[in-house]
Amino acid sequence: MGVISNNASKEASVLTRANHFIDGTWVPSESTETIEVTDAGRGEVMATVPSGTTADVDKAVAAARAAFDAWAGLDVAERVGYLKLAAEELARRQNAIAAVICREVGTPYATSNVVQVGLPQMTLSATAEIALDYRYTERIYNSLVVKKPIGVVAAITPWNYPLHQLVAKVAPALAAGCTIVAKPSEVAPLNAFALAEIFETIGLPRGVFNLVTGYGTTVGEAMVAHAGVDMVTFTGSTAAGRRIGAVAADTIKRVALELGGKSPLIALDDADPVAVATASAGACYLNSGQTCIALTRLIVPAARKAEYEAIAKAAAESVVVGDPFDPTSVIGPLVSDVQRDRVRAMITSGIDEGATLLTGGVEAPDGLDAGYYVRPTVFTDTTPDMRIVKEEIFGPVLVLQTYETEDEAIALANDSVYGLNAGVYSADVDRAIAVGLRLDSGQVQINDGAFNIHAPFGGVKQSGNGRELGVAGLEDFLETTALQLP
């Protein structure tokens, strides 16, 4: 793949990707227009990719359609064999791809290596095992219930965990027997080219995986509206999810949406404030806060408000912000100037609406004027109607809320249009579980429980529908037929 060295000059480091990956080959776009990909840490152009067209989408869908019957007809063991080969090839390229994502997104290199590339490897391998163990036929009284691949899948993915989100869709879709047309975010598309190269290297049959780059308003809309697409799986903003649902409704295709979040972390009155604040900083500031499941609302007992404020402030100020290739950096820059400006505007709104800024703010961290850096920020003295409490910020901003009773804490946690993730901390695990079961959320972390790629992931309310990962993630790409037997 075209690896870009962080130490190269600007001129030498600009990579040109001129082609889409369609029907197993690299083909020029129908358009000569390109999209610039920016190095988040430097604010410089690092690559260009094609700005695709509806004609490119038509070619990709046709290739996927033509490849579907043969791919779906393979034994599942043969299909998942390609996933295992892809995992092995991804491991061989791990460091190079991690470096690319480090620059595209701004994720510190160590985190990029483990999370941005390590998780996709694990997902490929885990999905292979899940698909092998799955029961695709079941006898229910006089019916034979059969699960079959749904068909051609359009996968539209975001920029914050770009390879992880792409693989979380591609792996189960391929295992189920579907063929794919993928559109990565135009902000961080280079890792998707690396995945296409991996599929090319391992000999994935032509047309099974197709990649078209471009903007959501052109390529994305064309994929969603296309009559040859049977399902759309999308991760991104709730606003974009609404648009996808509306466009897909014309052809009544299945839609799976993983959207925004404004996730609460409840500290019950018996929790250790130091443990809670440490976990909160990690969960809120990971990937510079550009994480859909980030626990951005810390809900604490009113009687211990001052204690939590002091600890949260100290925790935020201990986070090292810097060049993502510096091994001492805990968080790097935001992905773009647009995202940085959005986050700064939200911080300003918090101040204007009367919240108390404990630490952080709109100024760039010292010595980091180039690139898209934002200080880890903590607000207190908030009210539920403030924008910083209600809206997804997608940056390193934590807000504190206080409660008098356990019921009030739960009510505050559930007072959101979102329901993607939540957390509960308590010295009593059973008590934490009981509270967790009362939260309107697709997943709940109990005492900093680790993310599990074998468990279903997804949201409720305006955080979306459908599930990724685990058995549920495979089932999203399967259609059910019941044969009524004599």
Query: Is 11 known to be catalytic?
Result: no
Is the same domain home to 180 and 278?
no
- Asked whether the predicted pLDDT for residue 7 surpasses 60, the reply is no
What string of DSSP letters covers 413-481?
Answer: HH-SS--SEEEEE-SSHHHHHHHHTTS--SEEEESSPPP-TTS-B--SGGGEES-BSHHHHHHTTEEEE
Q: Given 89, 104, 186, 258, which residue is catalytic? A: 258
Contact in structure between 331 and 321 (CB atoms under 8 Å): yes
Is the same domain home to 131 and 198?
yes
Is the same domain home to 342 and 250?
no
Where would I find the H helices in 318-419?
Answer: 337-352, 387-390, 406-414
Specify the CATH number for the domain of residue 138: 3.40.605.10
Reduce the DSSP state of residue 398 to 3 states and report it.
strand
Q: Which of 5-9, 302-306, 373-377, 427-431 has the weakest average pLDDT?
A: 5-9
Query: Is 102 known to be catalytic?
Result: no
Distance CA 72, CA 150 (A): 10
Q: What is the pLDDT of residues 203-261, one digit of tens each?
A: 999 999 999 999 999 999 999 999 999 999 999 999 999 999 999 999 999 999 999 99
Q: Given 89, 292, 468, 475, which residue is catalytic? A: 292
| Model pLDDT, residue 206 | 98
Give the total number of structural domains in the chain. 2
Is the same domain home to 85 and 228?
yes
Is the same domain home to 448 and 472?
no
Residue 347 lies in a domain: yes
Distance CA 65, CA 37 (A): 30
Mean pLDDT to the nearest integer, 92-108: 97
Range of the domain at 28: 10-259+463-484
Specify the CATH number for the domain of residue 421: 3.40.309.10
Please report which confidence band the pLDDT of residue 13 belongs to, taking 50, 70 and 90 as the band edges.
confident
Mean pLDDT to the nearest integer, 60-84: 98
| Model pLDDT, residue 6 | 44
Mean pLDDT to the nearest integer, 108-127: 97
- Asked whether the predicted pLDDT for residue 5 surpasses 50, the reply is no
Distance CA 344, CA 417 (A): 23
Return the number of other C-beta atoms located less than 10 Å from residue 202's C-beta. 17
Single out the residue of 250, 226, 339, 255 nearest to residue 289, CA to CA. Answer: 339
Contact in structure between 360 and 377 (CB atoms under 8 Å): yes
Residue 4 lies in a domain: no
Q: pTM of this prediction?
A: 0.95
Q: Which residues contact 449 (CB under 8 A, 6 or more apart)?
A: none
Residue 337 lies in a domain: yes
Q: What is the pLDDT of residues 318-368, one digit of tens each?
A: 999 999 999 999 999 999 999 999 999 999 999 999 999 999 999 999 999
Is the same domain home to 302 and 388?
yes
Residue 5 lies in a domain: no
Contact in structure between 84 and 125 (CB atoms under 8 Å): yes
Write out the two tokens for 212: 């078209």
Is the same domain home to 15 and 137?
yes
